[in-house]
């Protein structure tokens, strides 16, 4: 994870454009649609920490190639734009003992709103006007890849989720978002109830 404050004025303006300038925890991701068929980590998962610095991690905002094999109807991609109140802190992949870990999770039973996504019908890995846009719950979370090593390909680590490549980056991200008073104050009966939002941008909108 590294700090990249040169884009701060642009990012603050982007949040203002969607009416989210007062959002306490500003999470934003930047998608690069190129080379998806190579299954590479080429997106940037970012947030503004409590001290006002932009923290950046390498990751993916798109599904890996394996997701296309599992979903003949087209793999799911989170839509660009503002996604309000979509995640809470919970355990991702709870039933997988070796992979279960704390992350930001889509939990309708805890008040999270649906995440808008599109299915890549023609499997060209870019959004086309005829691709199907849906607005429901399919478990798009924000988590990490392997905790053992940085893997070279996305593989099975994303079917649509927003995924950080680095285990240490993810751990730092989770620790830093808990530093916000609104998050700390939401902790009750062993659960954080604060709902996180996310602004998904294209690298055509902002260069990083």
How does pLDDT run across 123-141, given as a tens digit for each residue?
999 898 888 898 888 899 9
CB 166 within 8 A of CB 128: no
Q: Helix, strand, coil % (nearest 5) of the chain?
A: 20, 30, 50
Task: Identify the residue with better confidence: 121 or 59.
Answer: 59
Distance between CA 41 and CA 45 in Å, rounded? 11
Closest by CA position to 99, among listed 147, 152, 165:
147
**Per-residue pLDDT, 201:** 98
**Per-residue pLDDT, 207:** 83
94: left (phi over 0), alpha (psi -120 to 50) or beta: alpha
The percentage of the chain sitting over the pLDDT mark of 70, rounded to a whole number, equals 100
Which SS3 state, helix, strand or coil, does residue 189 take?
Answer: coil
Q: Are strands 43-48 and 27-31 parallel, antiparallel or unpaired?
A: antiparallel
| pLDDT (mean) for 104-118 | 96
Distance between CA 168 and CA 144 in Å, rounded? 9
Q: What is the DSSP letter of 161?
A: -
CB 57 within 8 A of CB 173: yes
Query: What is the residue extent of each domain of the chain?
Result: 2-202
| pLDDT (mean) for 80-98 | 96
Q: Return mean pLDDT, the chain.
A: 95
């Amino acid at each position: 994870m590294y700090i990249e404050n040169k884009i701060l004025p642009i990012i603050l303006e982007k949040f203002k454009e969607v009416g989210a300038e007062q959002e306490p925890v500003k999470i934003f991701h930047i998608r690069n649609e190129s080379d998806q068929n190579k299954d590479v980590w080429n997106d940037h998962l970012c947030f503004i920490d409590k001290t006002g610095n932009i923290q950046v991690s390498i990751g993916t905002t798109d599904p890996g190639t394996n997701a296309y094999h599992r979903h003949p109807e087209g793999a799911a991609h989170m839509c660009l734009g503002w996604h309000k109140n979509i995640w809470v802190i919970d355990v991702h992949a709870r039933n997988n003992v070796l992979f279960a870990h704390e992350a930001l999770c889509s939990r309708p039973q805890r008040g999270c709103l649906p995440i808008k996504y599109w299915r890549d019908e023609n499997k060209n890995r870019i959004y086309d006007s005829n691709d199907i846009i849906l607005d429901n719950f399919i478990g798009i979370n924000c988590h990490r890849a392997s905790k053992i090593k940085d893997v070279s390909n996305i593989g099975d680590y994303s079917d649509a989720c927003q995924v950080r490549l680095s285990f240490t980056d993810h751990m730092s991200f989770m620790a830093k978002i808990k530093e916000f008073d609104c998050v700390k104050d939401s902790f009750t009966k062993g659960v954080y109830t604060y709902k996180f939002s996310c602004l998904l941008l294209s690298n055509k909108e902002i260069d990083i």
